[in-house]
Every structure is written in C-alpha cells, then in structure tokens.
Structure 1
Amino acid sequence: MSTNIKIAWRNLWRNKRRTLITVASIFFGVLLSAYMTSMQEGSYEKMVDMVVKYYSGYMQVHHENYWESKSINDTFEDTPELRQSILDHLEVDFVIPRLESFALASSEELTKGVLVMGIEPESENRLTSLKGNVNQGSYLQANDQGLLVGEGLANYLHLGVNDTLVMISQGYHGISAAGKYPIRGIIKHASPQLNKMIVYMTLPNSQDFFSTGNRLTSLVVNITDTNLLNRSLKQLRADLKPPYSIMSWQEMSPEMVQQIESDRAGGIIMKAVLYIVIGFGILGTIMMMIAERRREFGVMIAIGMQRIKLGAILFYETLFIGMIGALSGLLVSIPILMIQAQNPIPLTGQAAQVMDDYGFEPYMFFSLTPSVFWHQALTVFIITMVIAIYPIISANRMKLINALHA
C-alpha cells in the first residue's frame, strides 16, 4: 500500500498544471461555499441576537397561564428562593425580573397604546445595554419615579425630556391604574415596533402603578454558553414545578424560527447547485486526466501491473487532490472570514433602508461557527471521493489494445 501511495503522489506532480487546475476547482468550491454559509449564518445570529439581547433573553420563567393570557393577573411572587434555585444551575449567568403590561398613554389631546415594562435598571442594562441607547436625557436610577420612552413614541406624543406622560390601565385583579410620570430619558430602541410603543419604569414603580405588590410577569434567564441552552432548559423544567413554566426564545418567537428555517432551506438549494457545479468540474478534470494517460495505463497493464493496483493508484491520486483542495480552501477561508467577521460589509441605499426598517443594522454579518468551515470542506471532499470511483471503474474496464493505440 505504501508503494501505491508513493507512486500516486509522484504521479500528481508529473503534470503540475493538471493537478493544480483540479485542486483549484476544489479550493474555490470550499472557499465559496464557506463564504456563502458564513454570511447566511451571520445574518441568522444577528437576528437571534436582536431578539435575545433586546427583549426576550434566552429563557423566561412565567406563571403557567401567562403566555396564553398575557394578563397581569397571571403573575407570580418574586422570592429570593426562586431566584436562587435558578442561579444554582451552573450554566445560568444572571436573572432579570420584569413586570410587563399594557396601558393607554396620553399627552394633551394625543393618546397611544403602550407596552409598560417594569425593570431593575442595572440588571436590565446587563442584557439589553439600554443605557447606551439613551439619546436624550438620562438612564433610570434604582428608585427613580420617572420613565424612559421610545423615540418613536415620544415623537408621536410630542414629548421631550422632563415632560409629563399620563398613563391609564387596569391593574392586578381589575384595580384601576393611573398616574402621571416625568420623562427622564428617550431611547432609540433597536426594534422598530418597540421603539414606537415602549415605556420603561423601575420595577417598584411599575408594581405600585399596577398594584401587584411583589409580583412579576417574568424572570429573564441568561446563560453563559448558547450551546448549553437545550440542556439548561431541560434541567430547569425538571426543577421548576407549577405554577411556574419556562420557555426558550425559540418558543417565544416561533415566527423567527420559521423564517430562519425557510431561509436556510433556500440556502441549501443554492449550495446544492454550487456543489453540483463543483462536482462536474472535478469530474471533467478527472476524465481529462484519464483520457490523456490512457496509453500510459495500457503500457503499465501490458508489462504486468494488475488492474486493481492501477485503480488503487488512481484512487489515491484523486484522494490527494481532494485533500489538498479541501485543506487549502479551509485554511484560506478561515482568515478571510475572520477579517469579514470583524469588518461587516455595509449596505447602502434601499437595501440599508429596508434593514433599518426591520430593526437590523445595515450590514452583512459573517459567522465564525466551526461548522461553517468543516461542513463545507467535508462535503466537497466527499464529492471528490465519490468521483474517485470513476478512475477505478475506467481502469477495470479499459481494453488493452485500444489503450495501447491511444
């Protein structure tokens, strides 16, 4: 076997041009498929990051009836024991309490329905970086009686910093909720929808407004490693008994999951077309190699070389070509995509406007997930190995007389 490998390796470099052309087709196949996949997965990661970072977190603990009713009556008592039981899981990084409900906000003759979110300012900032999104005024303090409002909402109600916002709602178990609050700051929220309707209050202030006492609608659970999400979710579900329930971001945002899966299916079709082109390119080069060396093979068989051994040598030649092409494509794609990940491609014109309208930054982002690289290299290598069957079949079916006269 070692002799066959040595012969195959030497045969590769007898015709360097032919070998390099074949290697180049595999190299560019790996590079292009990795680039396409990285760009696709990078956009998905950014979408997930927006949902997780700016609103839902990776998981949320609710009352078992809350997600269906979205009612402030389906809340639960906030206790140190509950928080600690969640934090006892090694994968859990931190827990953020929230109280969410809806209200009617007004300023003079203008009114609008708003989402009121009671938060602990410092804890919330760890996840959503709200403080950095304040473009007017200041961020909330721990026991602040004021509000943060979305920029779109402030523009609609013609409000600015230090103006007063009036809110009317229904509190816990039908209690009337009404109050006047000064605006401490105006934020530009990453989500266009939330930017037009969000109002942030400190948690004690919101609990007082809705008369809930020490109750919450949710505990947002953040984890240290996204790869541990499913395991953490399973463990927390085993530990948290009714009336509590815990949901992942995928369960809370099924529309986004469906959008990603449908787009990923389209990407698979595009990559399949690319792989077919790559496969035929490699096959054409291998067929050309067999045709050019037909007389050589005939002479080798005539002087006593077994067809099986000749087929093995040709297989090793194709194997080496596949390995060189896949590895070189892998090694070159890693630094290129690392640079692209650090320097996303900016979008301009209408494309940038569409991205901005949907709440995304107007850039093409790239992913550095390991599977982006090795999946493409492995796929192209497998295609090459399938094509390597052709030289073996050709060697076994070759007619000696025809080969010698080629």
Structure 2
Amino acid sequence: MITYIKLAWRNLWRNKKRTLIAASSVFFAVILSLIMRSMQKGYYDYMIDSSVRLYTGHIQIHGKDFWEKRSLEESMIFDESTINKIKQNKSISNIIPRLETYSLISFGKVSRVVQVTGIEPDLENEVTKLKGKIVEGNYLGENSNGILIAEGLAKLLNANVGDSVILYGQGYHGITAAAIVPVVGIVRFTIPEQNKTFTYLSLNFAQEHFSAYDRITSLSILLKDATEIESVKSFLKNLFDDTHEIMDWTELSPELVQSIQIDNASGIIMLGILYVVIAFGIFGTIVMMTAERVKEFGILVSIGMKKWKLAVVTTLETIFISFIGVAAGALASIPILLYLVDHPIPLTGETAEAILEWGFDPIIPFAFYSGMYFAQIWTVLAIAVLSAFYPFNFIRKLKPSAALRG
C-alpha cells in the first residue's frame, strides 16, 4: 500500500498545473461554502443576541401573569438576598432588573403613548450599551429624576435636552402617575419602532413615579453560555414558587424562533444548491484530469499493470488532491472569516429599510465556530472523494487498444 501512496503522490507533481487546477476547485468550494454558512449562522446569532440583550435576556423572571397582562399589578419585590442566591449560579453573567409600563408623554400640543422603562443605569449600560447611543445630553445617574427619550420621539414632540415633558399614566394599584420630567438626554436607535416609542427613567425614580416602591416587573438574566439555558432554568425554578414565571428567550420571542426556523430551512436549500454546483465543478475537474490521461492509462495497462492497481493509484490521487484543496481552503478561510466577524457588511437602500422594519440593524454579520467549520469541510471533502469513483470506473472499463489510439 505504501508503494501505491508513493506512486499517487509522485503522479500529482508530474503535472503541477493539472494538480493545482483540480485542487483549486476544492479550495474555492470550501471557502464559498464556509462563507455562506458563516453568514447564515452569524445572522441567526446576531438576531438572538440583539433580542436577548436589548429586551428579553436569555431567561426572564416575572410575575405569573405579567407577560400576558403587562400590568404593574403583576410586579414583584426582590430583596438583595434573593439576588445573591441567583448570583450563586456560575453560568449567569448579568442580572438586569427593569420596571416596564406604558404612559402618555406630552410636550406642547403633542402627545404620544410610549414605553417607559425603569433601569439601573450602570447595569443596563453593561448589557445594552445604552450610554453609547446618547446623541445629545447626558446619561442617567442612579438617582436621576430626568428622562431619556429616543431621537425619533424627540422629533415628534419637538423636544430638546433641557425641556420638560409631562408623563401621565397609571401607577401601582391604579394610582395616578403624573409628573413634569426634564429631558436629560436623547438616544438614537437604528430600529424605527424603538426610535419613536422608547423612554428610560432611573429605576429609583420610576418606582417612585408609579408608586411601585421596591418593585420591578421583570428580572432579565444573561448567561455566559446560551447552551446552559435549561440547567439555569431548573436552578431558578427551585428558587421560586408558583407566583413567579420563568421563561427563556424562545418562549418570550416565538416570532423570532419561527423566522429563524423558516430562514434556516431556506438557507439549507440554498446551501444544497451550492453543493450541487460545487459537486459539478469538482466532478468536471476530475473528468478533465481523467480525459487527459487516457493514453497514459492505456500504456500502463498494456505493459501489464493490473487495472485495479491503477484504479487504486488514481483514487489515491483524487483523495490527495481533495485533502490539499480542503486544507488550503480551510486555512485561507480563517483570516477571511475572522475579518468578516469583526467587520460586518453594512447594507443600504431598500434592503436596509426592510431589515430595519424587522427590528435589526442593517448589517450582514458572520459567525465563526468549529461545528459549522468542520461540517462544511467534511461535506466538500466527501463530494470530492465521491468524485474519485469516476476514474475508478473509467479504468475498470478501459480498453488498452482504444486508449492508445486516444
């Protein structure tokens, strides 16, 4: 067998141009399939991460009926000891308390219904980078009595930093919640819906304004590793009774899950089409290599070389070429994918507007992880190795007299 391996390896480099052409077809197939799958997986990861960080968390704890009613009556009281118990789980990276409700905001003759979110400014900024979205004014402090409003909302109200807006709504137990609140900062969101409806108060001020002292509506939990969701959910369910509801992001955002599943199905179909194109490209190259060597094969069989031995050697050649192309493609794709992961492709025009309507930034993000990486490599390698059956079958049916005549 070692002799056949040596013969196959030497045959590759007798015609370097032919070998490089064949290996190149595998090389570009690996890079193309990796980039396509990286783009698909990257966008799914981005959609999930955006939803998790901005709103739901990987897991969310709230009052039993809060998710259905969205009422302050379903808010909760969390003391420091309970928070410390949750922090004992090493899989948890961040715990973000929020008080969320809706209220009427007015300035001059303009009024709008907006979402009001009470936040702990430093904790919120760690997760959502809200401070970095400030385009005018200042960020909230822990005891701030001001309000952050979205840029689009500020334009609708014609309000600026330093102006005072009226917040009017219903507080805990139906108490009227009305106050004149100064605008301390304006934040810009790329998503139009957020940019027209989001407002933020410091958690302390929000609890005081809505008469929901020491209460929150949700506790969003971010994990170090999203694969630990089920184990952390079990841990949390042992800490809380039936008056609390513990939901993960798939339950909180079913529309997102469905859209990912639908897109992934279409993505797999597109990847399948790509593999068919790749298979024809690799197979065509192998056919070309075989056709060029018909006379060579005829001479070898005529002087007494067994067909099965020749078939083994040509099969090994194809396998070597496949490995060379796959290895080169895998190595070359690493810097390409790492660059794309750090530098997502921005989108413009109608495509960008369509993506913004879905609630995500208009970019094409990429992902890089071993599972995706090796799955594409082995698939392309399998296609290349299967193509080796063509020269094997060709040699089996070879007639030396016809081969010598070309």
Percentage identity across paired residues of the two chains:
42
**2-structure distance, mates of 1:377, 1:98:** 45
Deviation string, structure 1 residues 297-346 (Cα, Å, up to 9, x no partner): 34434444444333322221111111111111111111122233333334
**1-structure distance, mates of 2:348, 2:172:** 48
Whether contact under 8 Å (2:190, 2:356) holds in the other structure is: no
Q: Which residue of 2 aligns with 1:126?
A: 126
How much does 1:7 deviate?
Answer: 1.2
Counterpart amino acid of 2:21?
I
The reply on whether 1:102 has 2:68 as its aligned counterpart is no
How much does 1:237 deviate?
Answer: 4.0
| SS in structure 2 of the partner of residue 368 of structure 1 | coil
The reply on whether 1:255 has 2:226 as its aligned counterpart is no
The reply on whether 1:57 has 2:57 as its aligned counterpart is yes
Q: Which residue of 2 aligns with 1:182?
A: 182
Q: After alignment, is 3-12 or 335-344 more displaced?
A: 335-344
The reply on whether 1:310 has 2:310 as its aligned counterpart is yes
How much does 1:2 deviate?
Answer: 1.4
**2-structure distance, mates of 1:392, 1:69:** 68
Q: Which residue of 2 aligns with 1:73?
A: 73
Q: Which residue of 1 aligns with 2:38?
A: 38
Whether contact under 8 Å (1:98, 1:217) holds in the other structure is: yes
Q: Cα gap change, 1:235/1:294 in structure 2, threshold over 3 Å: closer, same or farther?
A: farther
Whether contact under 8 Å (2:25, 2:285) holds in the other structure is: no
**2-structure distance, mates of 1:299, 1:227:** 60
The reply on whether 1:236 has 2:232 as its aligned counterpart is no
How much does 1:234 deviate?
Answer: 4.5
Q: Cα gap change, 1:230/1:327 in structure 2, threshold over 3 Å: closer, same or farther?
A: farther
Whether contact under 8 Å (1:161, 1:183) holds in the other structure is: yes
Q: Which residue of 2 aligns with 1:343?
A: 343
How much does 1:368 deviate?
Answer: 2.4
Aligned-CA RMSD value: 2.4
**1-structure distance, mates of 2:223, 2:113:** 33
Deviation string, structure 1 residues 85-116 (Cα, Å, up to 9, x no partner): 22111111121111111112222332211111
| SS in structure 1 of the partner of residue 74 of structure 2 | coil
How much does 1:265 deviate?
Answer: 2.4
Q: Which residue of 2 aligns with 1:368?
A: 368
| SS in structure 1 of the partner of residue 72 of structure 2 | coil
Q: Cα gap change, 1:272/1:138 in structure 2, threshold over 3 Å: closer, same or farther?
A: same
**2-structure distance, mates of 1:201, 1:364:** 33
Q: Cα gap change, 1:238/1:299 in structure 2, threshold over 3 Å: closer, same or farther?
A: farther
Gaps of 5+ in 2: none
Q: After alignment, is 190-199 or 42-51 more displaced?
A: 42-51
Report 1:278-317 matches (<5 A). Answer: 278-317=278-317
Aligned length: 406
Q: After alignment, is 361-370 or 215-224 more displaced?
A: 361-370
How much does 1:348 deviate?
Answer: 4.0
Whether contact under 8 Å (1:334, 1:373) holds in the other structure is: no
Whether contact under 8 Å (1:54, 1:190) holds in the other structure is: no
Counterpart amino acid of 1:213?
Y
Deviation string, structure 1 residues 43-89 (Cα, Å, up to 9, x no partner): 33333332223222222111222212222222222122321222111
Counterpart amino acid of 1:183?
V
**2-structure distance, mates of 1:236, 1:22:** 56
Report 1:144-155 matches (<5 A). Answer: 144-155=144-155
How much does 1:150 deviate?
Answer: 1.4
How much does 1:402 deviate?
Answer: 4.1
Q: TM-score, normalising length from structure 2?
A: 0.91
